């Protein structure tokens, strides 16, 4: 089971060394639910990432509220799988309108990711967030 965002933030704060934080990100990625091979499609592929990244969104319509989105994902890079897990801790299981109102960049900055990820990985992370928000816009409009 994936840890909550609060648990991730607490664990990052506990780990002083960036090598340990990278290992923790990799461990988060290992905890992701496997994405079935038939979901590794062009439609699910995230463009703008140096690594191969696939995100699959499932919309759950709530009887008395806005649709919620549940995300699954995969990457061919271990650290990127961890970044996917982090993005899911922020966004997955939340109503579309909340996803659209949530800015992940302050959370990434709080974790120090901007200073410790390569520019390509940072761009890829932004591309993942953009894709998640695009899926939320479609669900909110639908």
pLDDT for residue 131: 97
Closest to 5 measured CA to CA, from 23, 35, 33, 28? 28
β-pair type (94-95, 53-60): unpaired
d(CA 46, CA 71): 13
| Mean pLDDT across 107-125 | 89
Q: What percent of the chain has pLDDT over 70?
A: 100
Closest to 100 measured CA to CA, from 108, 110, 90? 90
- Indicate which residue of 8, 28, 49, 84 is catalytic: 49
pLDDT category of residue 64 using cuts at 50, 70 and 90 = confident
The structure's pTM equals 0.94
Quick one: fold of 5-141? Sufe protein. Chain: A (3.90.1010)
pLDDT for residue 49: 82
pLDDT reading at 81 higher than 90: yes
More confident residue, 142 or 116: 116
pLDDT for residue 95: 95
Is residue 49 part of the annotated active site? The answer reads yes
Name the token pair of 120: 């390509």
pLDDT reading at 142 higher than 80: no
> How far, CA to CA in Å, does 36 sit from each of 15, 17, 103, 130?
32, 34, 29, 23
Phi, psi of 20, rounded to the nearest 5 degrees:
-65, -40
pLDDT for residue 44: 96
The sheet with strand 94-95 has its strands ordered as: 53-60, 68-75, 94-95
pLDDT category of residue 1 using cuts at 50, 70 and 90 = confident
pLDDT for residue 30: 96
pLDDT reading at 63 higher than 80: no
């Amino acid at each position: 089971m994936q840890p909550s965002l609060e648990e991730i933030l607490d664990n990052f704060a506990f780990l002083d060394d960036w090598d340990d934080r990278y290992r923790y990100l990799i461990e988060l990625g290992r905890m992701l639910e496997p994405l079935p091979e038939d979901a590794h499609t062009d439609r699910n592929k995230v463009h703008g990432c140096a690594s191969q990244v696939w995100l699959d969104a499932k919309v759950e319509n709530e009887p008395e509220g806005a649709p919620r989105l549940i995300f699954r994902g995969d990457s061919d890079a271990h650290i990127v799988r961890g970044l996917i897990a982090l993005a899911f801790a922020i966004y997955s299981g939340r109503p579309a309108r909340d996803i659209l109102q949530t800015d992940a960049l302050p959370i990434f900055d709080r974790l120090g990711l901007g200073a410790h990820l390569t520019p390509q990985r940072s761009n890829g992370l932004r591309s993942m967030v953009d894709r998640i928000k695009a899926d939320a816009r479609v669900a909110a409009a639908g």
